Amino acid sequence: MTPLVNIKNGNDKKDEEKICEALDKGIDDMEAGNTISHEDAMTIIRERTLV
C-alpha cells in the first residue's frame, strides 16, 4: 500500500488535495454504512503515513 502523500516531494497543494479526497471518500463510506474496525483503520493509517 502506498502512502497518501510523500512529505519529501514538497508539493503541498497536490498533497492537500489527495488528503481531502481520501477524507471525502471516508466520509462517504461512513454515511453509506461501510465501516471497518478501529484496529483495521489504525493499521491502514500507519501503512499510509510511513514515509
Task: From first to last of the 51 residues of the chain, give the pLDDT tens digit.
Answer: 566 655 565 677 887 888 889 889 989 998 999 888 999 989 988 888 875
Give the per-residue pLDDT at 10. Answer: 61
pTM of the model as a whole: 0.52
Three cell numbers written together for 4: 497518501
Give the per-residue pLDDT at 40. Answer: 92
Give the per-residue pLDDT at 31. Answer: 93
CB 17 within 8 A of CB 4: no
